[in-house]
């Protein structure tokens, strides 16, 4: 059944092609045995160059999704939306087919290359980099927030707990993105499970530390780990004390000793959350006074520290402030904007920016998001943004 050189030359003659103008080698293309195979047994995946390099290095990719979710594809550190792109053309995949450059550089003694087409398709998988879907992570971990080793919950073993593998099985994100988010959430690994701390417990740990700093008259920039563990060890597990220091400070070593430089911004912010969560809203002036008095001596509170945590309303009389956490808001772009505009009809860019910053993808800025999802106008000389459509 294989074509011979004579048959090829005869065809060239009939086609009136001049063999002198062609390279000597010809590919006789035929369909391989699996070529008519069922769609879905093989497919084409379009890759950006960095993904191609990862596959060449032997790394795997993983597709993740629930039946009711849009599938995503994850590399070690990035997440992509996976879509099927249709083309009206036919795409044939051909092993062993050489390009003219390859033919010119390689020595081919035979000038017939019998080539089998492996398969064909009229669609391929297309990838678009997307934000990892991390909202579910906090939701899962909050099912069983850690309240300390002595809490009744820890004694019961039937509360949900998740290992890294469990999380990879549930979250549509790459492993590195999940790890980064666990750090943002101040989660810690206890007995192999990832746990988020109950806020009151986290504040209890922080208060032990700040009170110790105060009673020892240490500088906040130089808090010695060992002394903390020694003094506070009887009160709380050492791992939890160290975890709290890591969450609220930066670790460094000096003359062989481990110290932590505590972050005033993080401590002031946490203190504000503790105050604000107890009421629907606060008189701004009163809040600012109480807040400054509640933070460790020497730390200065500023409203800038509360971006993405609380919102100030300067239109109301008196001015008020209330808790509004960006991670309590919807993950989807349109839903996020809908919820923000139902809270407040018109926003300045300065006020809304912390609440949409996390929606910015690789190529989107705050500006492009505002252009897409809102309409702007000038109010009292200031540019404000409102919803494009009526919010019910």
Partner 1 sequence: MVQIIISSAGAGGLAEWVLMELQGEIEARYSTGLAGNLLGDLHYTTEGIPVLIVGHHILYGKIIHLEKPFAVLVKHTSGEQDCDELGCKTGTQYLVTALIKNKILFKTRPKPIITNVPKKV
User: Site residues for partner 1, window 210-239 (CB under 8 A)?
Assistant: none
Of residues 167-206, which lie at the interface with partner 1 (CB under 8 A)?
Answer: 168-170, 172
Q: How far is the CB of 183 from partner 1 (least distance, A)?
A: 23
CB of 81 to partner 1, least distance (A): 15
**Cα–Cα distance between 344 and 81 in angstroms, integer?**
32
- Range in contact with partner 1 (rule: CB under 8 A) among 3-11, 228-236, 255-263, 369-377: 3-11
**Residue 25 near residue 103, CB atoms below 8 Å:** yes
Count the site residues for partner 1 by CB under 8 A.
76
- 61 vs 290, which CB is nearer to partner 1? 61
Q: Which is nearer to partner 1, 75 or 210 (CB)?
A: 75
Q: Which tokens is 317 given?
A: 């009389």
In the complex, minimum distance from the CB of residue 78 to partner 1, in angstroms, rounded to a whole number: 14
Which one of 76, 78, 86, 90 is in contact with partner 1 (CB under 8 A)? 90
Interface with partner 1 in residues 238-297 (CB under 8 A): none
Q: Which of residues 14-53 bind partner 1 (CB under 8 A)?
A: 14-17, 21-23, 25-36, 40-49, 52
- Contacts with partner 1, 135-174, as mask; x by CB under 8 A: ------------------------------x--xxx-x--
Q: Which of 77, 81, 94, 343 binds partner 1 (CB under 8 A)?
A: 94
DSSP labels, 324-382: --GGGS-SSHHHHHHHHHHH-S-EEHHHHHHHHGGG--SS--HHHHHHHHEEEEEETTE
Q: Quick check: helix, strand or coil at residue 128? A: strand
Q: Per this entry, what is the length of the chain?
A: 392
Beta bridge partners of 323: 310
Single residue of 6, 88, 158, 278 touching partner 1 by CB under 8 A: 88
Do 15 and 102 meet the contact criterion of CB atoms below 8 Å apart?
A: no
Which stretch in 63-71, 226-234, 242-250, 315-323 sits in contact with partner 1 by CB under 8 A? 63-71
- Residue 170 to residues 182, 197, 329, Cα–Cα distance (Å): 14, 20, 20
Minimum distance between the CB of residue 270 and partner 1, rounded to whole angstroms? 33
Q: Give me the least distance between CB of 288 and partner 1, in Å please.
A: 45
Locate 31 and state its tokens.
């369909």
Report the candidate in 273, 236, 138, 242 with the shortest Cα–Cα distance to residue 195: 138
* Among residues 4, 59, 76, 348, the one that binds partner 1 under rule CB under 8 A: 59
How far apart CA 155 and CA 147 sit, in angstroms, is 11
The least CB distance from residue 119 to partner 1, in Å, is 8
Q: How far is the CB of 104 from partner 1 (least distance, A)?
A: 8
By CB under 8 A, the residues from 300 to 339 that bind partner 1 are none
CB of 139 to partner 1, least distance (A): 14
280 and 287 in contact (C-beta within 8 Å)? no
- Angle value at C-alpha 215, between 212 and 216, nearest 5 degrees: 80
Of 4, 84, 92, 292, the residue at the interface with partner 1 (CB under 8 A) is 92
Nearer to partner 1, 59 or 139 (CB): 59
In the bound state with partner 1, the residue whose beta carbon lies nearer, of 101 and 255, is: 101
Give, for 124, the enclosing helix (H) or strand (E).
strand 119-129
368's enclosing H/E stretch is helix 366-373
Min separation Cβ 91 and partner 1, Å? 6
Burial of 188: CB neighbours in 10 Å, binned 0-12, 13-18, 19+:
buried
Bridge partners (DSSP) listed for residue 123: 86
- Which CB, 46 or 143, lies closer to partner 1? 46
End-to-end CA distance of the chain: 71
Stretch 99-138 residues interacting with partner 1 (CB under 8 A) = 99-101, 103, 115, 117-118, 120, 124-125
Burial group, residue 226, by CB count within 10 angstroms (0-12, 13-18, 19+)? exposed
How far apart are CB 80 and partner 1 at their closest, in Å?
12
- The residues pairing with 282 across neighbouring beta strands, listed in sequence order, are 321
Query: Shortest Cβ distance from residue 324 to partner 1 (Å)?
Result: 30
* 123/230 with CB nearer partner 1: 123
Residue 364: exposure state from Cβ atoms within 10 A (0-12, 13-18, ≥19): middle
Cα three-residue angle 292-286-353, rounded to 5 degrees: 75
């Amino acid at each position: 059944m294989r074509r011979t050189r004579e048959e090829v030359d005869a065809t060239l003659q009939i086609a009136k092609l001049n063999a002198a103008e062609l390279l000597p080698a010809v590919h006789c293309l035929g369909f391989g045995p699996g070529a008519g195979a069922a769609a879905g047994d093989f497919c084409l995946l379009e890759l950006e160059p960095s993904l191609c390099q990862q596959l060449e290095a032997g790394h795997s990719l993983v597709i993740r999704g629930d039946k009711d979710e849009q599938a995503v594809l994850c590399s070690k550190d990035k997440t992509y939306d996976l879509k099927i792109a249709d083309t009206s053309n036919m795409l044939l995949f051909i092993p062993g087919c050489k390009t003219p450059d390859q033919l010119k550089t390689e020595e081919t003694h035979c000038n017939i290359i019998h080539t089998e087409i492996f398969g064909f398709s009229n669609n391929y998988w297309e990838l678009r980099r997307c934000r990892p879907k991390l909202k579910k992570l906090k939701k899962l971990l909050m099912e069983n927030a850690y309240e300390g080793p002595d809490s009744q919950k820890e004694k019961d073993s039937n509360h949900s707990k998740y290992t890294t593998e469990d999380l990879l099985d549930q979250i549509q994100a790459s492993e590195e993105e999940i790890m980064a988010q666990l750090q943002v959430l101040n989660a810690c690994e206890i007995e192999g499970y990832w746990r988020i701390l109950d806020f009151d417990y986290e504040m209890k740990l922080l208060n032990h530390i700040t009170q110790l700093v105060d009673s020892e008259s240490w500088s906040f920039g130089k808090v010695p780990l060992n002394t903390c563990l020694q003094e506070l060890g009887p009160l709380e597990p050492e791992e939890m004390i160290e975890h709290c220091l890591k969450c609220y400070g930066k670790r460094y070593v000096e003359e062989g000793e481990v110290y932590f430089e505590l972050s005033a911004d993080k401590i002031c912010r946490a203190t504000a959350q503790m105050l604000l969560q107890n009421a629907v809203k606060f008189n701004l002036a009163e809040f600012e006074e109480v807040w400054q008095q509640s933070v460790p001596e020497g730390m200065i509170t500023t409203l800038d520290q509360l971006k993405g945590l609380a919102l100030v309303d300067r239109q109301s009389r008196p001015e008020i402030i209330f808790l509004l956490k960006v991670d309590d808001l919807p993950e989807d772009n349109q839903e996020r904007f809908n919820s923000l505009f139902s809270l407040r009809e018109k926003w300045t860019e300065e006020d809304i920016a912390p609440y949409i910053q996390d929606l910015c993808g690789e190529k989107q800025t705050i500006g492009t998001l505002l252009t897409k999802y809102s309409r702007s106008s000038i109010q009292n000389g200031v540019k404000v943004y409102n919803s494009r459509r009526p919010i019910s």
